[in-house]
Structure 1
Amino acid sequence: MNISDKDRFARTLAAFDAANTEDPHQEEVEGKMMPKELVYGQRMSEMLAGFAPEASETLQLSARCQHIQRWTLPRSNYPMDRKGYLKWRTQLKLFHGKKAAEIMETEGYDAEMIERVKFLLNKQKLKSDPETQTLEDVICLVFLKYYFSDFTKQHSEEKLIDIVAKTWGKMSEKGHEAAMQLSFSPEEQHIIQKALA
């Protein structure tokens, strides 16, 4: 990346962060309240940097904007069944792609790079496109590291086993190895062992 490309990249990440700063939902991080989706985007970038330090510019952009302004499309707007959940997820992917495209276009990215980010955000060709798979691995690792603990307090053991099994099924072998390096409480380890049995 040359200097002007680096500047454009930095401006785009800052614009993604600015969009996520508007999140009305807050999360406590090291004693400080912060917008939830801003924290999530930064965790995604940090995890990607450790998991795939050679990641392309488009993959790095996709990781940062994976949940861009997610709160504007709440789950409660859709029927609370499997069909409603799937519709919500589909609409979210399209929405994130559109928001990312608007910002990238403003910052001077060409159509090819914008389409590639949309492709990754839509999780196209999971298992066969290495970058889509890397993005999915990072999403799963961020979930396991930062959000799984809260899930264990909200759901039954049966539901948690199902969640972990589905998460594991989306990951690559490299993702599984990275997940095993994370630290879990004895209760969390018990759920994971049951899910993987």
Structure 2
Amino acid sequence: MPLQEALEAIDAHNAQDPNHEEVNGNKVPKELLYSQRMTQQLLHFEPEASEALQIAARAQHICRWKSPRDAYPQDRVGYLKWREDLKKMHAELTGSILEGLHYSKEAIERVRFLIRKKMIKKEEESQILEDVICLVFLQYYFEHFASKHPDEKIIDIIQKTWSKMSPKGHRSALKLPLSERTKDLVGKALA
């Protein structure tokens, strides 16, 4: 099964992440965990997701630790450059994996296109991927992130995240099992 082989190859790369998160008492490579959460959320959000979309979701942060944020200037320009370079790196590495599995050039370009997230709001699968990214962030990473910043900044980030999402994404976000503090911040952001 080519899809399963592709997902396993992506997982093999992400399993090398030296950073770990603890889940149920077990240490798991951070990007491996993230990629599995992406797949789980995608299949819940869009059960009929195409093969290209499933691969793009799984590879969204492939080997992200190899390009640390602190290697770039700590300003908005540096942040945007880091994000753009990451998208290119993720797309190229995933493309190389798919080439090794003999995917067609068209299939590889489709996955690269989705990973680069160029057509959010204009292209259905790009929007689905963005919704899933936002849902995974809100469910698994938001609480920790929010604990490090003042509420005003967090409310602004929620508003920016919300603006990237579709109405279907909004409905799904409001059904997530969020903490009371997160629900409160989301409520303030959407007021």
Whether 1:79 aligns to 2:76 is no
Q: Deviations over 1:79-131 (max 9, x none)?
A: 00000000000000000001000100001101101100111011021101000
- The whole-number CA distance in structure 1 between the counterparts of 2:181 and 2:50 is 37
- The whole-number CA distance in structure 2 between the counterparts of 1:142 and 1:18 is 21
Which residue of structure 1 aligns with residue 116 of structure 2? 122
- Aligned with 2:147: secondary structure? helix
**CA-atom RMSD, angstroms?**
0.6
- The whole-number CA distance in structure 2 between the counterparts of 1:185 and 1:40 is 20
Whether 1:62 aligns to 2:56 is yes
Q: Deviations over 1:22-41 (max 9, x none)?
A: 10000011110010000000
Normalising by structure 2, report the TM-score.
0.99
Structure 1 residue 186: deviation in Å? 1.8
Which residue of structure 2 aligns with residue 38 of structure 1? 32
Whether 1:175 aligns to 2:169 is yes
Which residue of structure 2 aligns with residue 96 of structure 1? 90
- Aligned with 1:154: secondary structure? coil
- Aligned with 1:167: secondary structure? helix
Structure 1 residue 56: deviation in Å? 0.4
Equivalent position to 1:158, from 152, 155, 180: 152
- The whole-number CA distance in structure 2 between the counterparts of 1:186 and 1:126 is 30
Whether 1:138 aligns to 2:138 is no
- The whole-number CA distance in structure 2 between the counterparts of 1:129 and 1:45 is 20
- The whole-number CA distance in structure 1 between the counterparts of 2:15 and 2:116 is 23
- The whole-number CA distance in structure 2 between the counterparts of 1:71 and 1:36 is 9
- Aligned with 2:27: secondary structure? strand
| Structure 1, unaligned runs of 5 or more | 1-6
Matches within 5 A, 1:15-34: 15-34=9-28
Structure 1 residue 156: deviation in Å? 0.7
Equivalent position to 2:106, from 112, 126, 139: 112
Structure 1 residue 60: deviation in Å? 0.4
Structure 1 residue 168: deviation in Å? 0.4
Q: Deviations over 1:9-53 (max 9, x none)?
A: 111100000000010000011110010000000000000000000
- The whole-number CA distance in structure 2 between the counterparts of 1:184 and 1:44 is 17
- The whole-number CA distance in structure 2 between the counterparts of 1:86 and 1:152 is 20
For 1:128, the aligned partner's letter is: K
For 2:59, the aligned partner's letter is: C
- Aligned with 1:27: secondary structure? strand
Matches within 5 A, 1:177-196: 177-196=171-190
- The whole-number CA distance in structure 1 between the counterparts of 2:111 and 2:55 is 7
Which residue of structure 2 aligns with residue 53 of structure 1? 47
For 1:186, the aligned partner's letter is: E
Structure 1 residue 164: deviation in Å? 0.6
| Structure 2, unaligned runs of 5 or more | none
